[in-house]
Amino acid sequence: MGRTAATLLTGLLGVSGTGCAQGAPVAGLNVPDGFRVTLFADGFKKPRFMVVARNGDVLISDQSAGTVTVMPDRNRDGKADSKQVYASGLNQPHGLAIHGAYLYVANTDGVVRYPFRAGDLKASAPPQKIVSLPGAGGHSTRTVEFGPDGRMYVAVGSTCNVCEEGDPKRAAIWVYDADGRNGRPYATGLRNAVGIEWFGGQLFATNNGRDMLGDDLPPEGFYRVRAGGFYGWPYCYTTQPGRPQVWDKDFGKKAASVCAAATPAFALTTAHSAPLGLAFYGGKTFPAAYRGQMFAALHGSWNRSVKSGYKVIMIDPATGKTTDFVTGFLNGQTVVGRPVDLVVAADGALLLSDDGAGRVWRIQAR
């Protein structure tokens, strides 16, 4: 396009790095009445997933820079005080989790961990690799999350658009002990479950559906994931929430019995929207109607004739109803930002990473 997404944001949203007034609402990003969007931090190459430490510090992975950065807001003014590189030299870091006395980082080729205490701004020891994963491939990001059982859940995407994988760690979520031992499959048939999150004792996942079936197939799905569950890929996909999955044309009736047993998505959104990170709102500053709701970042389509995604949606985990929450990252058909991940900050705000603009946005109730 001749201009970077960050430059487009400067022109279209009226912000320019440190020139954005502290706490000033961002023009161009649309949220429901009673909310506002401000800039929390910027200057990243490809910011991806975040985690909040016990003291309120926010850590973020930068996939292109190979770093994990701490964004403290010790004066609680709603904007990062600084950006402190906690660890560097990582291999496409993506998912982050804090559990016990460690920070866990999901690189493209494995999970490593660092000794960690809330307030740390720099790693005190080299990373310890505890899980090896198949690297790169068609989907290179890896996500790590801890469950209420204290075990570690790791999501790895497929190598391809649609194929039968040879490696059981692909297109699946595996579960491990916290030290990386005793790994086994937890859920399969998820082409690219980038976002995984526990809520109310249930694991939820976003999933990126296949391409090359036209603009509208298959819809992107959101899943309630259970041990031993199979979620359809590559043989079938959901076209109606909660209804039996349909055969993929590339596998046909070969998949009949498989698809009958596949668990469908409980909620759907427009095809090719690329849902990535998700968060359940457990803070206290949003109105009651938003509490306990699931928020998902739609990274946006790459091959749809009319672009889809490029926004944050809210999903009712009980009914599957979806509602737009943050829009404006798509100006006509011009992309000005790409939502990636969401976390609830210590002050109740919702933080959103944007790897199209290299920024982190803060959404708060007025």
CA separation for the pair 308, 324 (Å, rounded): 12
Q: Which residues on neighbouring strands pair with residue 71, listed in sequence order?
A: 58
Q: Which residues on neighbouring strands pair with residue 196, listed in sequence order?
A: 205
pLDDT at 111: 98
CA separation for the pair 135, 133 (Å, rounded): 6
**pLDDT of 68 above 60:** yes
pLDDT at 26: 73
What average pLDDT does the segment 132-138 reach? 90
CATH 1.10.3720.10 fits 5-365, yes or no: no
Q: What is the pLDDT of residues 212-256, one digit of tens each?
A: 999 999 999 999 999 999 999 999 999 999 999 999 988 866 777
Q: What is the pLDDT of residues 152-211, one digit of tens each?
A: 999 999 999 999 999 999 999 999 999 999 999 999 999 999 999 999 999 999 999 999
Q: Is 17 helix (H, G, I), strand (E, B) or coil?
A: helix
pLDDT at 13: 54
Main-chain dihedrals φ then ψ at residue 92, nearest 5 degrees: 50, 60
Q: What is the pLDDT of residues 70-106, one digit of tens each?
A: 999 999 999 999 999 999 999 999 999 999 999 999 9
Can you give the residue ranges of every domain in the chain? 5-365
CA separation for the pair 215, 207 (Å, rounded): 17
What average pLDDT does the segment 314-335 reach? 97
Closest C-alpha to 45, from 28, 29, 67: 67
Question: Measured between alpha carbons, how far is residue 23 from residues 27, 156, 279, 366 in Å?
Answer: 12, 37, 23, 12
**pLDDT of 260 above 50:** yes
